[in-house]
Structure formats: structure tokens, C-alpha cells
Amino acid sequence: MDTPATGLTFRDATDADVDTLVALVQSAYRGEPSRTGWTTEADILEGQRTDPEGVLEVIKAPDSRLLTVERDGTVVACCQLEHRGDHAYFGMFAVSPALQGAGLGRTVLAEAERTARETWGVKEMHMTVISVREDLIAWYERRGYRRTGRTTPFPYGDERFGIPQRDDLRFELLVKELV
């Protein structure tokens, strides 16, 4: 979908996007390039954030979409949407670090919520955020998400999710009613 007001094009990812999306996600969260933006996890996790197999799995999964956002033909953001019964799951959200802080993330999140509501008729969006990411959680709270206090363990020892730099990581479930 093209949104002329923002100059953004939203589309489903294809196999041809895998390498670009892996690089985008990595640049938004890990290593030195991620420090350009504010979503970096570089101080709490090293290593990879995702890999080509993980991205391809999301693209191919039934009831899943990997929204790819382009501006002037360049991929600038992405997010995963997955239909899970009465709600949708939001994940793999990345905005190019050079473009963070200018409202692009807010626009992508709103489009993801609209897409989930219209595509699957869901009433809630769920996501998990690393619980020590207070600034990121606060950003989601300002957009209507609420902390549930429900947590799941971080997959320590599985380097597909990165190499933890602390021993207190866990995921917290955030939920938003979609109206």
C-alpha cells in the first residue's frame, strides 16, 4: 500500500528481501551502527538479532506477514504480524537507525495495527519486549500498550537470539486493545 502523505510504501516481504531485512534488523539493534538510533540493544546483547533462516521463516509462515516499508525504493523499516486466534502478534520491528526519532516508527506501528485489525479482525495486538528496555517499553506505553507483568525467560544459550551481556533478561508481554 502506498501512503503518499508520508512517501512510504508498505508491502509484504518476499524471498528477495531476506538479506536486506536481516541487515536492517541487525543495524537497528546490535553493534556500533545501532548506536546511531535509540533502539539499540548493544549494551545488553551482542551477536546477531536474526538470521536469513529466521526472516525467511516469518515470510513463509501461514497466518504471518512481514511488512516491509520503503521510501523512494529503499527499505527503511519492517515488522512482523502474526495471526494468533483472537489477537495478532507484533514483532521483528526495525526502523533504520538514521531515521529513528522522526515519527517513522509511530507510522509503521499504526499501519501494522490497522492491517492486523482489517486483515484478521483481531481486537488486540500482543508483543514481547526485553523487560530491562524501559525506554522502549515507555515508548509503547505512550502508544496505548500496557504492561501485563507476564514474562517468559530469555533463551540463554541460543545464540540465534544474541549473546546476553547480563543475567537478568526476560521478555514481558505488552498488549493493546485495537478499536
Q: Are 79 and 112 in contact (CB under 8 A)?
A: yes
Distance CA 93, CA 70 (A): 14
The CATH class given to the 2-177 domain equals alpha beta
Provide the 10 A C-beta neighbour count for residue 124: 15
Say which range, 25-29, 33-37, 129-133, 144-148, has the weakest mean pLDDT: 33-37
For residues 156, 24, 70 and 122, what is the CA-based torsion angle, rounded to 10 degrees?
0
| pLDDT tens digits, one per residue of 75-110 | 999 999 999 999 999 999 999 999 999 999 999 999
Please give the residue that has the higher pLDDT: either 164 or 161. Answer: 164
Average pLDDT over all residues of the chain = 93
Mean pLDDT of 108-134: 97
pLDDT value of position 83: 98
Name the band, by pLDDT with cuts 50, 70 and 90, for residue 1: low
Residue 45 burial by CB count (10 A; 0-12/13-18/19+): exposed, middle or buried? Answer: buried
- Mean pLDDT, range 32-47, rounded to an integer: 87
**Where along the chain do its domains lie?**
2-177
